[in-house]
Structure 1
Amino acid sequence: MISLNSLVSVLAVLETARAVRFLGRVNPATKELTWPGTGVSFTFSGTSASIGLAAVTGNNSAELIIDGGEPTVISNVAGITISTPAGLAAGNHTVVFRKNSEALFGSIFVGDITTDGTLGPDVPPSNRKIEVIGDSITVGYGIGGLLPCVNTAALEDVSKTYSVLAANSLKADYSIVAWSGRGIIRNYVQATPDTSPTAPQLYTRYGANDADGSYTFPSSWTPEAVVINLGTNDFSYLGSAPNGSTVALRPRLDAAAYTAAMVKFVQSIEVHYPNATFFLLTSPMLNDGYPSTEDAQHTTQTNALEAAVTQLNNGTKAYLVDWPAQGSEVGCDYHPTPATNAAEAKVLASAISAALGW
Structure 2
Amino acid sequence: MILAGSAHAETISSQTLMHTPPLDTVPLSVDTFGRVAHEKSGAIAYSWPLVTFSSHFTGSEIWIDIDDSKGRLNVYIDGNIATTLSHPGASRIHIKDVPENPRGGDEHSVSLTRFNETQDSVSRLIAIYAHGASSGPPSMSPSKSIEFIGDSYTVGYGNTSSKRSCTAEELDATTDTGKSFAVLTADAIWAKVQVNAYSGRGIVRNYNGFAGDTLPDLYPYALFDGKTEYHDPTWQPQVIVIALGTNDFSTPLHAGEKWKTEAELIADYEATYVNFVKSLRTKNPDASVLLISYDPATTPQITTVRDRLRAAGETRVDVLEITGFTKNACDHHPDTDDDRKISQTLIAYFDAHPELWPDLRQGK
Q: Above 0.5 in TM-score?
A: yes
1:159 Cα offset (Å) = 0.3
Percent identical among aligned pairs is: 27
Q: SS in structure 2 opposite 1:80?
A: strand
Question: What pairs up with 1:329-344 in 2 under 5 angstroms?
Answer: 329-344=327-342
Number of positions where the alignment pairs a residue of Structure 1 with one of Structure 2? 314
**Which residue in 1 is equivalent to 2:9?**
none
Q: SS in structure 2 opposite 1:311?
A: helix
Supply the AA of the counterpart residue of 1:170.
I
**Which residue in 1 is equivalent to 2:76?**
65
Answer yes or no: is the 8 Å Cα contact 1:64–1:98 preserved in 2.
yes
Q: SS in structure 1 opposite 2:184?
A: helix
C-alpha separation between the residues in 2 aligned to 1:82 and 1:323? 42
Q: SS in structure 2 opposite 1:300?
A: coil
1:44 and 2:44 equivalent? no
- Consecutive unaligned residues of structure 2, counting only runs of 5 or more, are 1-25
Q: Residues 50 and 142 of structure 1: is their aligned pair in 2 closer, same or farther, counting only changes over 3 Å?
A: same
C-alpha separation between the residues in 2 aligned to 1:114 and 1:124? 25
Question: What pairs up with 1:146-161 in 2 under 5 angstroms?
Answer: 146-151=163-168, 152-161=171-180
1:278 and 2:289 equivalent? yes
**Which residue in 1 is equivalent to 2:222?**
206
1:222 Cα offset (Å) = 1.2
Deviates more, 1:96-105 or 1:158-167: 96-105
1:31 Cα offset (Å) = 1.1
Question: Residue by residue, what CA displacement relative to the aligned partner does 1:232-270 show, whole Å, maximum 9, x if unpaired?
Answer: 1101324999xxxxxxx9754643433332221101110
Q: SS in structure 2 opposite 1:205?
A: coil
Q: SS in structure 2 opposite 1:120?
A: coil
Aligned equivalent of 1:351, options 349, 352, 355: 349
Answer yes or no: is the 8 Å Cα contact 2:47–2:118 preserved in 1.
yes
Question: What pairs up with 1:1-358 in 2 under 5 angstroms?
Answer: 16-17=28-29, 20-29=30-39, 31-53=44-66, 55-57=67-69, 59-69=70-80, 72-84=83-95, 86-89=97-100, 90-104=105-119, 106-121=121-136, 123=139, 125-145=141-161, 146-151=163-168, 152-190=171-209, 194-211=210-227, 214-216=229-231, 218-238=232-252, 251-252=261-262, 254-283=265-294, 298-313=295-310, 314-327=313-326, 329-353=327-351, 354=353, 355-357=355-357
Answer yes or no: is the 8 Å Cα contact 1:225–1:352 preserved in 2.
no
Supply the AA of the counterpart residue of 1:332.
C
More strand by share: 2
1:23 Cα offset (Å) = 1.6
Question: Residue by residue, what CA displacement relative to the aligned partner does 1:284-340 show, whole Å, maximum 9, x if unpaired?
Answer: xxxxxxxxxxxxxx222112222222232332411212221312x511111110111
C-alpha separation between the residues in 1 aligned to 2:335 and 2:96? 30
C-alpha separation between the residues in 2 aligned to 1:148 and 1:281? 27
- Consecutive unaligned residues of structure 1, counting only runs of 5 or more, are 1-11, 242-248, 284-297
C-alpha separation between the residues in 1 aligned to 2:303 and 2:240? 17
C-alpha separation between the residues in 2 aligned to 1:270 and 1:240? 34
Answer yes or no: is the 8 Å Cα contact 2:120–2:224 preserved in 1.
no
Q: SS in structure 2 opposite 1:264?
A: helix
Q: Residues 48 and 175 of structure 1: is their aligned pair in 2 closer, same or farther, counting only changes over 3 Å?
A: same
1:279 Cα offset (Å) = 1.2
1:168 Cα offset (Å) = 1.5
> RMSD across aligned C-alpha pairs, in angstroms?
2.7
Q: Residues 99 and 51 of structure 1: is their aligned pair in 2 closer, same or farther, counting only changes over 3 Å?
A: same
Answer yes or no: is the 8 Å Cα contact 2:122–2:224 preserved in 1.
no
Q: SS in structure 1 opposite 2:194?
A: strand
Answer yes or no: is the 8 Å Cα contact 2:52–2:111 preserved in 1.
yes
- Under a length normalisation based on structure 2, what TM-score does the superposition of the two structures give? 0.77
Q: SS in structure 2 opposite 1:132?
A: strand
Question: Residue by residue, what CA displacement relative to the aligned partner does 1:161-189 show, whole Å, maximum 9, x if unpaired?
Answer: 01111112222111222111110011111
C-alpha separation between the residues in 1 aligned to 2:75 and 2:218? 27
